[in-house]
């Protein structure tokens, strides 16, 4: 009887999780546990907005925009796609950045997309949306890898800054293939770390993954004014690239 009761409780917990999850998927619980272990969380599509295309017809370049600035003093922002072979996309230790990110990603198939935001009370807020696509974007070789000027272009950075009220919006892009390693004959080769600084103060330490599209473009926001913003990229081969954002 105890065993039957235990199974029933587990079944009810799983059913409750699916009931509260606005975009249910078979992999969500396992991925979430791997990322945040047993820390407390709530689903919160009110304070986290994830904008995606109505249909991602180009699965190797899918624009996503996450805005969780309604969560004050957020400490961390993580984005993942449930059904991608490489679920994690970006993990931001916000420090002095706002809880906002814009970037392009690859999708292997139609998938839920999640944004996890850690608030000042150590409660995780989870925002959800669904990306509709025929997929295949994670198993395609980078076009930039075949560029005849690849060695000259690798690591080239462009940056810009815009002031919107009290907010400073930083835009940055870098030439990099962001290879997943899922294509036969192609090794993994992607940017895995970004550091953003204002003069000598770190605005954010960011981990990135190969699910991000080649030649990635990013948008970040901060309230910290500076005459010297700098962005630094590091890839898994140890190459380091940096540039001022002006």
Q: What percent of the chain has pLDDT over 90?
A: 83
- Write down the pLDDT at residue 148: 81
pLDDT higher than 80, residue 46: yes
User: What is the arithmetic mean of pLDDT over 198-223?
Assistant: 96
Nearest CA to 169 among 117, 233, 217, 128? Answer: 217
- Please tell me the class of the 26-245 domain: mainly beta
Q: How far apart are CA 213 and CA 179, in angstroms?
A: 9
Q: Does residue 18 surpass a pLDDT of 50? A: no
119-137: pLDDT as tens digits: 999 999 999 999 999 999 8
| Residue 141: predicted pLDDT | 85
Concatenated DSSP letters for 14-71?
A: HHHHHHH-TT--TTHHHHHHHHHTT--EEE-TTT-EEE--SS-SSTTSEEEEEE-TTS
How does residue 10 score in pLDDT terms, banded at 50, 70 and 90? Answer: very low
* Mean pLDDT in residue range 154-171: 97
Confidence of residue 143 (pLDDT cuts 50, 70, 90): confident
pLDDT of 102 higher than 90:
yes
Can you give the pLDDT at residue 200? 83
């Amino acid at each position: 009887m105890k065993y039957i009761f235990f199974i029933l409780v587990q079944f009810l917990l799983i059913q409750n999780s699916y009931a509260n999850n606005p975009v249910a998927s078979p992999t969500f619980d396992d991925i979430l546990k791997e990322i945040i272990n047993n820390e407390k969380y709530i689903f919160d599509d009110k304070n986290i907005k994830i904008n995606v295309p109505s249909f991602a017809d180009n699965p190797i370049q899918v624009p996503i925009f996450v805005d969780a600035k309604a969560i004050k003093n957020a400490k961390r922002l993580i984005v993942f796609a449930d059904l991608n072979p490489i679920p994690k996309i970006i993990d931001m230790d916000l420090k002095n950045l706002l809880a906002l990110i814009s970037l392009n990603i690859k999708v292997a198939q139609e998938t839920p997309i999640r944004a996890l935001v850690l608030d000042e009370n150590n409660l995780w807020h989870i925002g959800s949306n669904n990306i509709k696509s025929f997929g295949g974007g994670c198993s395609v070789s980078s076009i930039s890898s075949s560029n005849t000027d690849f060695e000259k272009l690798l690591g080239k950075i462009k940056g810009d800054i815009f002031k919107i009220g009290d907010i400073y919006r930083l835009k940055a892009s870098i030439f990099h293939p962001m290879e997943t390693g899922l294509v036969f004959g192609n090794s993994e080769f992607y940017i895995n770390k970004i550091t953003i600084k204002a003069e000598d103060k770190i605005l954010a330490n960011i981990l990135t993954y190969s699910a991000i599209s080649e030649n990635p473009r990013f948008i970040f926001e901060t309230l910290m004014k500076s005459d010297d913003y700098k962005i630094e990229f590091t890839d898994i081969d140890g190459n380091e690239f940096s540039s001022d954002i002006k």
